[in-house]
Amino acid sequence: MKKWILFLVIVFFVQHSFSQQAVDSKKMNYIIMSKPNNIFYHDSLFRGSSQYKDLFYRTNDQQFINLFQKHQSNKVVGGVLSFIGAFATGFGVAYATSNNGNKTSGWIIAGSGFAATLVGGVLTFSGQRNLQQAVELFNAKYNKSTVGIGVSPTNAGLVLNF
């Protein structure tokens, strides 16, 4: 009996969890996936900055462009630092634990590499935050309610977008 109650409680919590990211098809959305550069806009998924760069540059808004450039520079520098730091950490630990190397210098290299990995992670996260700010700013400025009249040779209609 206890197993069934536990099973029902788990099923209840799983059904009411909010694990999926909400996507509004009318707005620009920053999608969090394994690759950190994904934007969903007008029913299209833009993967990577080369695909969605035009979304920011076509507005000619310097604030969007600055946030995009900060995102790019933080992402690139963070990736490079993370890679170098991971390599240095591995090399330092291997050097410090080997019988041939100097243990002090090996641990200094490993600690420096770990610090570089942490700084790289912070920079990557900062770049993602800049992209999220750009998406929120874009939605605040350019997703306004609009009213239009659609006319065809035989029909007319009122269009309301919000």
Cα angle 102-104-106, degrees, rounded to a multiple of 5 = 70
pLDDT of residue 82: 94
pLDDT tens string 93-119: 988 888 876 788 889 999 999 999 999
pLDDT tens string 112-121: 999 999 999 9
> Is the model's pTM score more than 0.85?
no
pLDDT of residue 149: 65
What residue ranges of the chain have pLDDT lower than 70? 11-21, 25, 33-36, 101, 143-153, 155-162
